[in-house]
Amino acid sequence: AAPGISFLNTFSLGAYPELVRLRESWEKRLGKPVASLLALARVLPSAQPFTVTADGQERRMWLLFTGNGVYEPAGLIPLRRPLLDEGLFDVRTVSAEHRLARTRLVLSAALGALRRSRVYQVERVRSLDLVPGTDAASIAYDGEATAAPDHLTLTKARQPIRVYSP
C-alpha cells in the first residue's frame, strides 16, 4: 500500500501553492475574485507542467488541487465548504494536454465559462491514488511543501477529529 498524507484542508501538486500565495497578498485590496484571476495570469506563464498518474490514468497537468470536503462554487475560486463529513475530496485540475491550455483557462475564468472548459476539471472522489512523475518535484498540503513521494494515496479518515477551542 502507498503511504498516506495527513491533511486537514488542502493538498496540491504544481502551481497551486504559488497561486494561493499571490492571491492572498492581493485579495484585501482587490477582492478574492479579481486577485485570483490576476494570480492565475501571473503564475501560469512561468509554471512548469508535470506528469502524474491519478487512479491509474497518466495525465499532464499544470496543477492539481485536492480539498477536504466539497467546495462551493465549482468554479476557479472555491469559497466555502458546507460540510466536512460527506466523505469526499474536491479535486480540481488544470490540464496541460490541450493546445493553449493556460490561455484557455484564463479566458474561461474571466468569461465565467469554466464549467464548459476542457482544460479545467472538477471531480468529487472518495480517494485518490497518485504516482507523481519525476517532473512533479514537490507537493504541498495545509501550507507545507515537501518532496513528492514516489506513490501516495489520499483517503478520508473515518473517525472524527476532536477540536479544542477557547
- Alpha carbons 42 and 38: distance in angstroms, whole number: 6
Q: Is residue 5 part of a domain?
A: no
Q: How confident is the model at residue 5 (pLDDT cuts 50, 70, 90)?
A: low
Q: Is residue 1 part of a domain?
A: no
pLDDT tens digits along 64-91: 989 988 988 777 667 788 887 888 999 9
What 3-state DSSP class applies to 23? helix
Q: Closest Cα partner for 63 from 108, 103, 13?
A: 13
Q: Is residue 95 part of a domain?
A: yes
Q: Is residue 113 part of a domain?
A: yes
Q: Closest Cα partner for 145 from 53, 18, 3?
A: 18
Mean per-residue pLDDT for 7-29? 85
Q: Is residue 111 part of a domain?
A: yes
Count of domains in the chain?
1
Looking at residue 84, its amino acid is L
**CATH number of the domain within which 125 lies:** 2.60.200.40
Q: Is residue 47 part of a domain?
A: yes
Q: Which residue has the cell 466555502?
A: 80
Mean per-residue pLDDT for 41-55? 88
Q: How confident is the model at residue 1 (pLDDT cuts 50, 70, 90)?
A: very low
The parent domain of residue 94 ranges over 10-154
Q: Is residue 146 part of a domain?
A: yes
Report pTM: 0.81
Q: Is residue 161 part of a domain?
A: no
